[in-house]
Amino acid sequence: MSTPFSLDMQGLTKAFDGSQILRGVDLQLHPGERCALIGPNGAGKSSLFNLVSGRYRADSGRVLLYGRDITQCSPQQINRQGLARSFQITSLFPRLTAFENVRCALLWTLGYRYAFWRRLGQLHDASARAQAVLERVGLGARAQVPAGELSYAEQRALELAVTIAADAAVILLDEPTAGMSRAESAAMVALIREVTVGKTLLMVEHDMQVVFDLADRIAVMDNGRVIACDSAERIRANQEVQALYLNRRRHG
Ligand SMILES: Nc1ncnc2c1ncn2[C@@H]1O[C@H](COP(=O)(O)OP(=O)(O)OP(=O)(O)O)[C@@H](O)[C@H]1O
């Protein structure tokens, strides 16, 4: 059955040790749109990412990727079906070069898709692609530098390269500009915009400047639910969202 949604989250719930963390998350994303996921600490944003990318199993509800149910799939199966989640810097291999890190990610995604993966031609393809992806994120000249020796901003760009390497249609980024200076953050926003053209982006982000610069829609999570998902203008005017952030300021 055809679906207008690239990513469709329906009634997702998850509890840990008896405490309900996700309480019925509904969120639908269209192909080609960029959506920022915001909300207070503990709202459930990372848990939702973990669930959509297969790291956690939902207690109930469904996740559809271009209409295909991926709720019970493993992270690698989900990845191979076209959803990539950003790896944190901590999951880069610091002693491997930038090039080797991207190539490893490609092999992980593609490795089982082709029966004759070990054929030299395909290894060569992966190498060429890894270099091309590094060029795209501005790290072409840094390809042979160990990841651990790159600057912080370069490591974040490498993290992005690793995420987009296999050309997934749906990309989940977790605070891609956290810890960056304003200038680095602006450069990262430009880069993300460029590499996600035509793709679906769901991005957890606390920096509202980045959110407003990049997102077509903003989804607001609170207490395990998406309470609103709309344009920046409408989210700003949304009374429930205003109350959430005003309350935080008063109590936080
Ligand atoms: N594996 C787990 N086991 C137990 N509790 C968990 C687990 N993962 C998340 N939680 C709990 O779920 C709640 C929501 O956390 P989550 O990290 O999803 O929120 P968040 O919106 O991403 O917050 P932040 O913005 O601070 O990262 C927290 O109370 C957290 O302790």
- What is the Å distance from ligand 1's center to 27 Cα? 19
- What is the Å distance from ligand 1's center to 43 Cα? 7
Distances (CA, A) of 137 to 13, 19, 182, 194, 202: 36, 41, 18, 9, 19
CA 219 distance to own-chain centroid:
14
- What is residue 112's predicted lDDT score, i.e. its pLDDT? 46
- What is residue 116's predicted lDDT score, i.e. its pLDDT? 52
- Closest ligand 1 atom, CA of 56? 1
Query: Would you say the C-alpha torsion 92, 96, 102, 108 has a positive or negative sign?
Result: negative
Half-sphere exposure of 9 (CA within 13 A, CB side): 23
Distances (CA, A) of 99 to 62, 175, 193: 36, 23, 22
- What is the Å distance from ligand 1's center to 159 Cα? 22
Fold of 1-82+214-252: Rossmann fold (3.40.50)
**What ipTM was reported for this prediction?**
0.94
- What is residue 177's predicted lDDT score, i.e. its pLDDT? 93
Nearest CA to ligand 1 atom 18: 44
Nearest CA to ligand 1 atom 5: 16
Q: Is residue 88 within 6 Å of ligand 1 at its C-beta?
A: no
Domain extent listing, the chain: 1-82+214-252
Nearest CA to ligand 1 atom 28: 42
Q: Is residue 43 within 6 Å of ligand 1 at its C-beta?
A: yes
SS (H, E, C) 120-189: HHHHHHHHHHHHHHHHHCCCHHHCCCEHHHCCHHHHHHHHHHHHHCCCCCEEEEECCCCCCCHHHHHHHH
Rounded distance between C-alpha atoms, residue 144 and residue 140, angstroms:
9
Pocket test for ligand 1, best of 16, 27, 88 (most atoms within 8 A of CB): 16
- What is the Å distance from ligand 1's center to 42 Cα? 5
Question: How confident is the prediction along the chain (252 residues), in pLDDT tens digits per residue?
Answer: 567 899 999 999 999 999 999 999 999 999 999 999 999 999 999 999 999 999 999 999 999 999 999 999 999 899 989 999 986 656 799 999 999 999 988 887 776 455 455 555 666 788 899 999 999 999 999 999 999 999 999 999 999 999 999 899 999 999 999 999 999 999 999 999 999 999 999 999 999 999 999 999 999 999 999 999 999 999 999 999 988 876 665 554
Q: Is residue 224 within 6 Å of ligand 1 at its C-beta?
A: no
Q: Is residue 19 within 6 Å of ligand 1 at its C-beta?
A: no
